[in-house]
Amino acid sequence: MATCIWLRSCGARRLGSTFPGCRLRPRAGGLVPASGPAPGPAQLRCYAGGLAGLSAALLRTDSFVGGRWLPAAATFPVQDPASGAALGMVADCGVREARAAVRAAYEAFCRWREVSAKERSSLLRKWYNLMIQNKDDLARIITAESGKPLKEAHGEILYSAFFLEWFSEEARRVYGDIIYTPAKDRRALVLKQPVGVAAVITPWNFPSAMITRKVGAALAAGCTVVVKPAEDTPFSALALAELASQAGIPSGVYNVIPCSRKNAKEVGEAICTDPLVSKISFTGSTTTGKILLHHAANSVKRVSMELGGLAPFIVFDSANVDQAVAGAMASKFRNTGQTCVCSNQFLVQRGIHDAFVKAFAEAMKKNLRVGNGFEEGTTQGPLINEKAVEKVEKQVNDAVSKGATVVTGGKRHQLGKNFFEPTLLCNVTQDMLCTHEETFGPLAPVIKFDTEEEAIAIANAADVGLAGYFYSQDPAQIWRVAEQLEVGMVGVNEGLISSVECPFGGVKQSGLGREGSKYGIDEYLELKYVCYGGL
């Protein structure tokens, strides 16, 4: 009871009141503290109460618009994907709230654009510092709402904070040009100016980093934002809003409107078609991205799209097997395979195929541990929901029915409905679903190939092109393959490629524009040519 009163008094409304770290066990009608012997391997430990031990100031459940925390007429539940337990009830914003957020952002933009680059830089740096100070609590929020292992959640928070740090520095490096024309009495100037209000729509798999990668660039450029976070993971976006407020980010510059899956379509349409919005930045599926592009087309808005991928991971005969396996583990099983740059199909040359598959299977069995993200040693948490599990299961069953062999894994994990065993398939062919449909789960299908040309053809057959990886010790081959792969990012003898300093984005139907790096801020700037005559 004392905990419940303390949470309410600190403003953390509609949150569960279980104690942090308390092991719970399911029973009819709810969850109760576990008693007696420890649960067996098939009984899931529930850490849904992990939110209750955090700073109450970070546990926000209302929308954040115009610098104020505002409730909505309705709420929706956010669940722990590991146990299914409710984490809390969050404001379910609709079209009215979305339009109000856009108006607040537009009014703030008229002031924020006039703030000096130095001051914008300083405020972003303060926001970064607050993220670092609160990194442990922010990481626990990510694990609670997404299921991501806590160690990876800590990594995401640092990655997320580094975008604010990076763009705090880039804010002061927005340079124009002076062009000398043929006319002696004229000078031509090129100015860079903020585009205006940006609608930012983010996914659940990186609920913090996907926000700061966009918002950091937008605010540095002088834009304001309306963020619609994924319905599965709104707490991270709202915690960032609290820290932005503490950092002194002016009212209306950063706005957050959470909503349920039921309202997501109409809210997304409302902010993307609003005439006061000048820019749309979206990370998510290619299908949804195409819908948003239609919305943007009606009023010719600027867009950034980071969409789906089908990343090939190619292992040539000259590759170092141990290095290739280490890269495959890092690329495939980060966040339980739920990243847009995860390797989706493994193309392994005939001469090295058997050695690679054997070593890969051994590494999976030795290093991967399925469990609740809060449990020490867990490397593979739950998938985000049962629909995601069904997709992996469907791909495995389809492949096996067409002749693939399960080397390890292959079925749902005994821990619960959202868990799936890390799975390795061999004897995979190109007519199987797993080779042309993004998995977003812990499934590694291996295709055997003979020639470099064959591997390139298979990799480039996809209509998407976000990331690609390959392992080779042949310098000439490395140049050839790196240039020929039709993707926006290539990892050569490396399975982890993301860095705040480097441009992130794809080609073909994997999106438009780049995020991060010195190029990321350009997505939020317009060029203006000024002809100065009469000199």
Phi, psi of 2 (to 5 degrees): -60, -40
Does 306 qualify as catalytic in the annotation?
A: yes
Instruction: Tell me which DSSP letter residue 279 carries.
Output: E
| Of 165, 242, 306, 452, catalytic | 306
Task: Say how far apart CA 415 and CA 397 lie, in whole Å.
Answer: 20
Residues in the chain: 535
Please state, in angstroms and as integers, the Cα–Cα distance from residue 438 to each residue in 394, 402, 482, following that order.
Answer: 12, 18, 22
Print burial letters for 218-252: b (CB count within 10 Å at least 16), e (below 16).
Answer: bbbbbbbbbbbbbbbbbbbbbbbbbbbbebebebb
**Residue 206's closest CA among 275, 310, 283, 92?**
283
**DSSP, residue by residue, 215-252:** HHHHHHHT-EEEEE--TT-HHHHHHHHHHHHHHTPPTT
CB atoms within 10 A of CB 90: 26
420-423: which pairs have CB atoms within 8 A and are 24 or more residues apart?
420/383, 420/389, 420/392, 420/393, 421/370, 422/333, 422/364, 422/368, 422/370, 422/380, 423/392, 423/396
Task: Say how far apart CA 460 and CA 182 lie, in whole Å.
Answer: 46
**DSSP, residue by residue, 34-67:** --SSPP-TTSPPB-GGGGGGS-GGG---SEEETT
Beta bridge partners of 460: none
What is residue 522's three-state secondary structure?
A: helix
Tokens of 199: 């609608």
Q: Catalytic residues, which ones? A: 306
